Chain A
Amino acid sequence: MLRAVGAILRKDLLLELRTRESVPAMAIFGVTTLVVFHFALNRPTVEGDLAAGVLWVSFLFAAMLGLNRLFVAEEEQGGFDGFLLAPIDRTSLYVAKALALLTYLVIIELIAVPAFAILLLEPGLWQALPGLVLVLLLGDLGICAVGVLVSAIGIRTRARDLIVPLLALPLLIPVVIASVAATAPLLAQGGAEALPGRWLLTLALYDAVFAAIAYAVFDDLLED
């Protein structure tokens, strides 16, 4: 399985490096959303719950762009058939796509988090950074666990651009709630507070449950 995951991930990253179809669009959309919030909220800075909400909504919408394109090369260029004919565990496609999406999300967060700190955030970011990295990682894993599954469903439909967000956004509400709740204390007015353990646990559980569901059903999703 590792061999197949490595092959697909390497191929996906090479394609993205060459075509630049997903990451630039996701990054620009994420930062643009922050700019829109900056003006729409009509206040120079945000903190606490509001800051966490703005940050995660921006990431979530940016992630939708990546999800929509995640399987496009497979669908349009016969990659699914080539993959299905190979003697490999089909779950490797799910794992590789999740890792590719995780890579994209990390890259846009490396761009969007500093932009957020400059545009909107009142408290300093440095103190919150170690905790924020942990929450971002758990939240991203949740987006990947659900998103890859939904993207694989959506790619087989004509209304892919509609189906993917329509399915993914409701399923990702728990991730948003838990991620915002876990992020809010880190961006509190008076400086970063302790990470709320129960929300981190909620995120980790959600990630694990959806990864298990995906493992169980992904093979059937690829079947005729």
Chain B
Amino acid sequence: MGEPAIELEGLGRRFGERTALRDVTLTVPQGATLVVLGPNGAGKSTLLRVLAGLLRPHAGTLRILGHPLPDEGWRVRGRIGLLAHEPMLYRDLTPRENLRFHARLHDVPLTRIDEVLDAVGMTARADDPVAVLSRGMVQRVAAARAVLHDPELLLLDEPFANLDPAATALLEPLIGRASGRTRVVTSHDPAGGLAGADLALGLRGGRPAICAPAREVATADATALYA
């Protein structure tokens, strides 16, 4: 196994006077899944945005896929797939038009669009505006967008929210463990999150309260984060 996919050392991030992340230190090997647990406002989404290079860290160091961020952010752009709360889809364009736009930005062959639309079960609605799709359908198209360029690292912010069991099963090969990619997944389901991960990070008020291999974390301890 090569270099770790993610290396954080004393990572911190503020928004004005408010500390969103403080002293986060961890290493995620390539191909591993890190689950990030914590109540609303714990810093999970902020962590994902820092890892994606969309937010600068205010303290500590950060290496993604072997490159220090933000200095060498340009080296990892295009190798990260982000599925956030905001689907990053233009509401007045269709799923196909949105994916065509992202395919051109990532220099991905346009034939890949039909592949990912089919994989998320959205071929039949591919030419309807995103604005008229249900939240679950939008989430499926957003997942297709996140993996369109076959990223090495997937950053998933509650990826299965809004999805019914059938859709969840449909996305599993794309963004689940079966995808074989390095993944960072935020979750509000301690038991499910720990079961599907190699590493666990529990955040409370931006600070790591749990940072250990997932199998060593008791579900009760993870659940206590939400108390």
Chain A interface (Cβ < 8 Å from any Cβ of B): 3-4, 6-8, 10-11, 14-15, 18-19, 73, 77-79, 81-88, 223-224
Contacts and interface: CB of A to CB of B under 8 A. Distances in A.
A81 B84 contact: yes
B97 interface: yes
B55 interface: yes
Contact of B82 (A14, A85, A223): A85
Contacts of B89: 77-78
Given A73-B92, A82-B88, A86-B77, 8 more contacts: A3-B104, A81-B54, A81-B84, A82-B102, A85-B78, A85-B80, A88-B105, A224-B56
Contacts of A10: 101, 104
B82 A81 contact: yes
A224 B14 CA distance: 12
B42 to A, nearest CB: 20
Contacts of B97: 11, 14
Main SS class of interface, B: loop
Main SS class of interface, A: helix
Contact of A86 (B55, B86, B105): B105
B54 A83 contact: no
B63 to A, nearest CB: 18
Interface string B92-126: 11000100011011110000000000000000000
B66 interface: no
25 contacts: A3-B107, A8-B105, A10-B101, A10-B104, A11-B93, A18-B92, A18-B93, A19-B92, A73-B90, A77-B86, A77-B90, A78-B88, A79-B90, A81-B54, A82-B88, A82-B102, A83-B105, A84-B54, A85-B52, A85-B53, A85-B77, A86-B78, A86-B106, A223-B56, A224-B56
Nearest to B151: A85
- Closest CB pairs A-B (n = 4): A87-B78, A7-B104, A78-B88, A86-B105
B135 interface: no
A167 to B, nearest CB: 23
A94 to B, nearest CB: 15
A85 to B, nearest CB: 6
A83 B57 CA distance: 20
Contact of B86 (A15, A81, A88, A224): A81
A4 B78 CA distance: 13
Interface size class of B (residues with CB under 8 A): 20 to 34
A224 B13 CA distance: 12
Nearest to B142: A78
A15 B92 contact: yes
Interface in B1-59: 52-56
B78 A77 contact: no
Q: Which of B84, B86, B145 has the most CB of A within 10 A?
A: B86
Contact of A15 (B55, B70, B82, B93): B93
Contacts of A81: 52, 54, 82, 84, 86, 88
Given A81-B82, A84-B53, A4 B104 contact: yes
Contacts of A4: 104-105
Q: Which of B54, B87, B90 has the most CB of A within 10 A?
A: B90
Contacts of B53: 84-85
Given A3-B107, A6-B104, A85-B82, A79 B77 contact: no
Contacts of B104: 3-4, 6-7, 10
Contacts of B215: none
A129 B84 CA distance: 51
Contact of A78 (B52, B78, B84, B101): B84
A7 B105 contact: yes
Nearest to A11: B101
A73 B93 CA distance: 11
B166 to A, nearest CB: 26
Contacts of B91: 77
A82 B92 contact: no
Nearest to B85: A78
Given A73-B90, A77-B88, A77-B91, A85 B107 contact: no
Contacts of B90: 11, 15, 73, 77, 79
